[in-house]
Structure 1
């Protein structure tokens, strides 16, 4: 294995288990449904989000957009600034959290996102912002040509393996407000493929006055992960005449498609005369499809039962999955541009990366993109990856599948490193050889799959506590940076706190200090500022050196 191959394997996301070998479905109904699962979270708390009908959600968004100018003025934005509604969450007590993107003189503001928190009576009780800086640019005229910014981006994309000779579109003018003084900039996006075959979607931000690179991030969020792993399961499918398709009408119309080793396009929807999919072997193309479809339905149900969330965008619309990507592709990834998940078949096409927690991980990248929008680099990128590990773990426990019991290991089923070991460990992240157990000033410089260790460790401590214990047959021994003893509050409560913080308080630039503040606010909302849950959030962050 070359060092390049090693690098990509180590930074890929891991997965845990996949799905059933033979999936028997009811052949007499147009749609067959999955068996019931236990509720993943506690009963609705006053500050927990409620499920909104499509009409109610659309109405709240429409009203917020109609009031956007008044809201912008009310929270102190300048005359050139406008708000564009991205999402809205309503709590059981009537509090509404409206997430906005921002423009300045008509230009998108990168790092300008914010969340306005409004009480049931309509009073604004707070604003969570990605930047504290005031937006005031002396000029909106670039000093460098867009071609210079494009050349810079192409050079950086070439270093990652892309053979593209032109950007996907002309560099667009934006306002860069993520860090430092807001400036006029160009954002360039370069496509193609990275050197391991993963699609490339490199975003490069260039100062429009000096030509200096301000920022870059990869828009494709990677991971590694049918019934090949999870045994026999029930799937929700659709009958059309004498054929069945892997279309889940009960979960937003999610479809599972076959790329047949291609690397572009949507692929072909899995369709056959029998409602039994796969045989548990990787030589049967429908086996990986069954795993992917099962992972998608369990992830949908987990978010619905635990948080009242209806799909990735909370709009009741399903994404779609593509399996059999490329040849010997050892990875899986979420892509916002196609609103889809994609899975390779592993080394020698022998180990499909369609594990259950991979599905949960990948779709959670979509949830993050449509809520906090955590930038995929630095500490915010680590939090982005950790969110997917945390929620992927939640999906695995929720599924309660005897062939793949829930655990705090990432990628333990797919043997991605060839040594039988998991890709990541949440109880002590450094066991993977690269992840950080605790925060330090250098954490932001790590690859996001390693900087995620701090938040993964926090979540484990918050859920299960420190020290040695065995859960579902797996032994854990979680240390603390300060030698303190942490007693966990349980995984369900920890998930509620993380989700609340992600959807109401995190923004695109949230770092570990901000994550501590956001989760404490979430714990206070849900359980009270003097509660055991609040105090344990404090203790768990301190135990990983985040203060």
Structure 2
């Protein structure tokens, strides 16, 4: 064995390429490989090599004016090392000019973990949100992380998952500290290739709009890059895509157009939740939910993980007006607050009403340019879902057959009807009983006890309502909402002089939901 070959073997260098045929004048790449391998064999300090390192040459890239870049990675005691890779740079004559790498000291890592692979997988699954069709592509395996925070490196478990996120494939790698069980880092093989874009939307209900879309590969998609999870497509769950980033034709029957209205409304609700109610996304943790259009029914619904939208009874419009979209996604907000969406018929009535409230808040939330849908306290008035006009009224539920006032019958009513009492309460809380502003869709509202109520404005009413839902539990009823909303109103008591508390109490009295024992006092 020649002396140089012995040195290479001692360095643990695994040469991945066949030796080049000898030439009188070696090519620059050959010179570079020889020089780089020689540096590794004779100057281990330049690459911070430990006795447990194995070095592997990956390849050579040619740069300007004969510069060559020879890339390497390493293992430590047989374990893959993240952050231990480096590049040896040579000039056209084969002289080493630089060594580029992120590792700053030799590795010294105990390779016996304190955390089991099963525990690491549990941490990985728990902290991975929004991934549909979740599968483990690569089971937890021990690796070494060579980072700047800990020069000796640290032992970690790497797990690779597979699924879809926002309509696109997703393969996240998650590294969990093998000694403490805490997540160290993560990255996704797929989503890094998707970039934000601005699409032109020819909506039916909202006029021309610019919406947030994504660009990946050679096509654009109706997936919102700023609001993870918000996307739109057909009933098969696939996100609509196209090559020109222009969406819809403005027709009431076109499904792509329906998705433009859905994307605009979902983004508007997201912004309202953030700016008015201090909530991070529909789920409260920075994520939204997909939407599907083309339901062959005079209806729209929320199905735990997505919202679906049909058409009106005349077949002339898709049911994708702002308040309808925000209503269905409002069910997601309700579901993602404490207590979830399970409970009695009375609980479901309050769920339906809560969705109406979120739809109304989204209509009234400021937008530029203003939407052609002038904000009001009616539900689905643009869609003509089952005939001309709205399907519910909040300022006077009885005008569409729902109760204005609470009674012993309300907890057993069909949920959309039974929610009329909370809708009426919210209108009184927001606008009061006598706003005298019918020209701006704020008509006077009758009270069940004949007393007047002074409102606090829709934004503050929404804030109180959101804090009320954050107190929710299973089998939530009208008595529970009354008690919780009075507690919620106390948050602002020091700044509004109990005005919000008084409005909440007066509005409940005005819809005949009786006082409860132990109610908060202001």
TM-score of the superposition, structure 1-length normalised? 0.54
CA 1:537/1:283 → structure 2, altered by over 3 Å: closer, same or farther? closer
1:19-38 Cα deviation digits (max 9, x unpaired) = xxxxxxxxxxxxxxxxxxxx
Q: Does 1:231 align with 2:207?
A: yes
Equivalent residue in structure 2 for 1:534, among 487, 501, 516: 501
Larger CA Rg, structure 1 vs 2: 2
Cα RMSD of the aligned pairs, angstroms, is 2.2
Q: Which residue number corresponds to residue 415 of structure 2?
A: 448
Q: Aligned pair count?
A: 312
Deviation at 1:307, TM superposition (A): 2.3
Please list, as runs of the form range in 1=range in 2, the aligned pairs for 1:65-84 lying within 5 A after superposition: none
Matched residues in 2 for 1:283 and 1:491: separation? 33
Matched residues in 1 for 2:230 and 2:371: separation? 25
Q: Does 1:318 align with 2:288?
A: yes
Deviation at 1:472, TM superposition (A): 5.8
CA 1:374/1:319 → structure 2, altered by over 3 Å: closer, same or farther? closer
1:42-101 Cα deviation digits (max 9, x unpaired) = xxxxxxxxxxxxxxxxxxxxxxxxxxxxxxxxxxxxxxxxxxx99xxxxxxxxxxxxxxx
Q: Which residue number corresponds to residue 378 of structure 2?
A: 409
User: For structure 2, which runs of at least 5 residues remain unmatched after alignment?
Assistant: 1-125, 128-201, 515-522
Please list, as runs of the form range in 1=range in 2, the aligned pairs for 1:88-99 lying within 5 A after superposition: none
Please list, as runs of the form range in 1=range in 2, the aligned pairs for 1:54-453 lying within 5 A after superposition: 227-259=203-235, 265-266=236-237, 268-326=238-296, 329-336=297-304, 339-347=305-313, 349-372=315-338, 373-375=340-342, 377-400=344-367, 401-418=370-387, 420-433=388-401, 435-453=402-420
TM-score of the superposition, structure 2-length normalised? 0.57
Matched residues in 1 for 2:380 and 2:253: separation? 21
The residue matched to 1:233 in structure 2 has which SS? strand
User: For structure 1, which runs of at least 5 residues remain unmatched after alignment?
Assistant: 1-84, 87-225, 260-264
Q: Which residue number corresponds to residue 488 of structure 1?
A: 455
Matched residues in 1 for 2:426 and 2:509: separation? 12
CA 1:394/1:445 → structure 2, altered by over 3 Å: closer, same or farther? same
Matched residues in 2 for 1:245 and 1:318: separation? 16
The residue matched to 1:330 in structure 2 has which SS? coil
The residue matched to 2:209 in structure 1 has which SS? coil
Q: Which residue number corresponds to residue 508 of structure 1?
A: 474
Matched residues in 2 for 1:440 and 1:351: separation? 37
Q: Which residue number corresponds to residue 87 of structure 2?
A: none
CA 1:283/1:353 → structure 2, altered by over 3 Å: closer, same or farther? closer
Q: Which residue number corresponds to residue 159 of structure 2?
A: none
The answer on whether the counterparts of 1:237 and 1:244 sit within 8 Å (CA) in structure 2 is yes
